[in-house]
Amino acid sequence: MGQTERLRAEVERIAAGGPPQYHEKLRQQGKMFVRERLAKLLDPGSFVEDGMLARCEDPDLPADAVVTGIGRINGRTVCIMASDATVKAGSWGARTVEKIVRIQEQALKFNIPILYLVDSAGGRITEQVEMFPGRRHAGRIFYNQVKMSGRVPQVCVLFGPSPAGAAYLPALSDVVIMVDGNASAYLGSPRMAEMVIGEKVDHETMGGARMHCSVSGLGDFLAASEDEAIELMKRYLSYMPDNWKGLPPAAPPREPKGPAPLSAVVPPDQNTPFNMYRFIEGLVDADSFFEIKKEYAPELITGFARLGGQVIGIVANQPAVKGGVLFVDSADKGARFIWLCNAYNIPLLFLADVPGFMIGSRVERQGIIRHGAKMICAVSEATVPKISVIVRKAYGAGLYAMAGPAFEPDACIALPTAQIAIMGPEAAVNAVYYNKIQELPEDERPSFVAAKRAEYAADIDIFRLASELIVDAVVDADSLRAELIRRFAAAAGKAVTFTERRCPVYPV
Amino acid sequence: MTPVTAPMTGIVYQLPAAVGSSVAEGDSVAILESMKMHVPVPAPKAGRIKEIRVQEGEFVEEGAILAFIE
């Protein structure tokens, strides 16, 4: 056989992946073969592969269980790492890790996004000395991820497992898409947990997609199928620039399809819940809202949208869930989303209707103070255009976490329904006049409390706050969209450095 | 039987669905008052209210079982 024929035969052999029984196993699990996934994801004929011949002298290790290279998605160039679960269950061997490290280095050099398509049993223990401890071994993958974070988008899709050390790969990505039923991540498998700590638990409960997307917060998108996961990946990238210096891609503007008039969506009474999704739908371009972490801490809504065709990131309280109160998980979700938007030049819109951070012994033990501080930290640091809209109420540190006036928003706008205060009238009157109320005869208390509440409401009247220049404008809900489009356009050239230092000491 | 649990710590403000009544998924089984907000507790699935475990005015912790649906 000549060398050219040899090459052709090798490429054909390697492109077929592992033995037939493992292809059959993929089919039973509802999974695609790695090269089918790439064909669905990438523009036809755009893929160039590196290291296809890695370990070609070993017939059992086609490409050493990972496909790496560069391709295009809707015309945009991206780096790809994709596990091949038909070869040693997609585990990481001596050359797998070197291939992953190299494609990361390419993404950094070329300033383009990287996608991690993971379906892997983790490190190959039999090859550990060649892949685990050294300078360019598995640890370097995570080191690189940290270095890349905020420079180029990193999207991780779990089509299958990503156990033990490999679980840090999703954790260090910008976002994680998980396929329901097949994706999993845990530091120790159920088998290991039973052996080492005596716990009996199944895969799904321990580290399934649904658990991670709704409880742990490791997952950002729960996909019902591999096809949906691929679509989510494409859609996510459509809101992202190629790198931290680029601008997110614009699209033709569209009118909102949501409810009109928007003013009818917000009830005047501060204590009555309403659905913030309806407010968002009525405000942004039709079909442009793309939610992140939908299943996790739903009392805070985070997601991308378009306003007059331009990408924005929305952070909105959801009064229909837990009263829109901020909890440990919602503060965590908010902080991370704000960091994501700030990293990639995505202007931030805050829609505040927040009674404050949750109080009580339960949340204090969970560290509500430091988690809230983390969100306040992220809001402070964000130098992308940011506008805070007080939709209804912003009480206490809720005002701070939602980019209130002290946090350098480019504008703090109030709707006529807005109320800004340390706390609501009921709690405030009780706090200030507690002793006085106790001294009064019981039948005189209600009228006293009512009078004091009215006094308090007048003191925090939104026109008074506008008169004191606390807010920059009071805008009616039906004019809000046009106002925001003009204000974001005006702030487009914003170039601000927050401050110089090595790094802040983050409250986490 | 499906338990209906308190989404957050607070006081039971209202119990709009009586024992034996039918509820659709998403109907309010209870309304809590917490942080001065009314917080509806939706039925996790459609069914009949089998049992209500709390009374109006009662303090409940997050996760406490308020009712059962069958």
Least CB-CB distance to B37: which of A325, A327, A362?
A325
| Residue A393 contacts residue A418 (beta carbons within 8 Å) | yes
Burial of residue B33, with CB atoms counted within 10 A of its CB: 0-12 exposed, 13-18 middle, 19 or more buried: middle
- The pTM (predicted TM-score) of the whole model is 0.96
What CA–CA distance (Å, rounded) separates A488 from B13?
Answer: 42
Local structure of residue A226 (DSSP, 8 states) = H
Any CB–CB contact under 8 A between B39 and chain A? yes
Check if the beta carbon of residue A276 is closer than 8 Å to that of residue A286: no
Contacts by A182-189, CB closer than 8 A, 24 or more apart: A182/A29, A182/A30, A182/A31, A182/A119, A182/A158, A182/A209, A183/A158, A183/A159, A183/A208, A183/A209, A183/A212, A183/A219, A184/A158, A184/A160, A184/A208, A184/A209, A185/A158, A185/A161, A185/A212, A185/A218, A187/A163, A188/A164, A189/A163, A189/A164
Confirm if A357 and A334 have CB atoms less than 8 A apart.
no
Chain-chain contact of B37 with A323 (C-beta, under 8 angstroms):
yes
- CA pair distance A385, A311, nearest whole angstrom: 11
What pLDDT shows up at residue A301?
Answer: 98
- Judge whether A387 and A409 are in contact, CB under 8 Å: yes
A55 touches chain B (CB under 8 A): no
Question: Which residue in chain A has the smallest CA separation from B42?
Answer: A321
Nearest CA in chain A to B6: A322
Question: What's the pLDDT score for residue A271?
Answer: 87
In chain A, which among 357-376 make CB contacts under 8 A with chain B? 358-360, 362
pLDDT at A26: 97
Task: List the strands of the sheet with A114-118, edge to edge.
Answer: A48-50, A66-73, A76-83, A114-118, A154-158, A175-179, A221-223
Other C-beta atoms within 10 Å of A323: how many?
Answer: 28
- Indicate if the alpha-carbon torsion angle B40, B41, B43, B48 is positive or negative: negative
Shortest distance, CA A464 to any CA of chain B (angstroms): 24
Looking at residue A429, what is its pLDDT? 92
Which two tokens mark A259? Answer: 């409810």
Chain B residues inside the 8 Å CB shell of A356 = 35
* pLDDT value, residue A450: 93
Chain B interface, best mutation among A214, A270, A271, by max B CB count within 10 A: A271
Nearest Cα of chain B lies from the Cα of A323 at a distance, in angstroms, of: 6
Question: Across-strand partners of A352?
Answer: A390
Amino acid (1-letter code) at residue A253: P
Residue A250 DSSP one-character state: P
* Per-residue pLDDT at A360: 96
Q: Do B39 and A426 touch (CB under 8 A)?
A: no
What pLDDT is attached to residue B59?
A: 97
- Tell me, yes or no, if B42 comes closer than 8 A to chain A by beta carbon: no
Ranges of chain B with pLDDT below 70? none
Alpha helices in A111-214 (DSSP H): 128-131, 138-148, 168-171, 190-196, 203-207, 209-211
Q: A-chain residues within 8 Å CB-CB of B35?
A: 323, 325, 355-356, 358-359
Report how many Cβ contacts below 8 Å link chain A to chain B: 42
Which of A273, A356, A358 lies at the smallest CB-CB distance from B8? A358
Q: What are the φ/ψ torsions at residue A419 (nearest 5 degrees)? A: -140, 120
pLDDT given at position A361: 96
Handedness of CA B31, B37, B42, B44 (dihedral sign): negative
Cα–Cα distance between A321 and A270 in angstroms, integer?
15
- Locate B64 and state its tokens: 């406490």
Q: How deeply is A333 buried, as exposed, middle or buried, from its count of CB atoms within 10 A (0-12, 13-18, 19+)?
A: buried
Read off the tokens for A119.
């379906």
Chain A hits for B9, Cβ within 8 Å: 358, 360, 362
Of A472, A198, A211, A174, which is closest to residue A342 (Cα–Cα)?
A174
What DSSP character marks residue B61?
A: -
CB-CB under 8 Å, B36 with A427 = yes
Which contiguous run of DSSP H or E holds residue A432? helix A425-439
Q: What is the pLDDT along chain A (508 residues), one digit of tens a residue?
A: 899 999 999 999 999 999 999 999 999 999 999 999 999 999 999 999 999 999 999 999 999 999 999 999 999 999 999 999 999 999 999 999 999 999 999 999 999 999 999 999 999 999 999 999 999 999 999 999 999 999 999 999 999 999 998 999 999 999 999 999 999 999 999 999 999 999 999 999 999 999 999 999 999 999 999 999 999 999 999 999 999 999 999 999 999 998 889 999 999 888 889 999 999 999 999 999 999 999 999 999 999 999 999 999 999 999 999 999 999 999 999 999 999 999 999 999 999 999 999 999 999 999 999 999 999 999 999 999 999 999 999 999 999 999 999 999 999 999 998 999 999 888 899 899 999 999 999 999 999 999 999 999 999 999 999 999 999 999 999 999 999 999 999 999 999 999 999 999 999 8
Query: Considering only CA atoms, which of A264, A326, A186, A292 is closest in space to residue A477?
Result: A264
Beta bridge mates, A394? A354, A420
Distance from CA of B34 to the nearest CA of A (A): 8
- pLDDT at res. A269: 86
Task: Calculate helix-pair angle for A425-439, A445-459, nearest 10 degrees.
Answer: 140
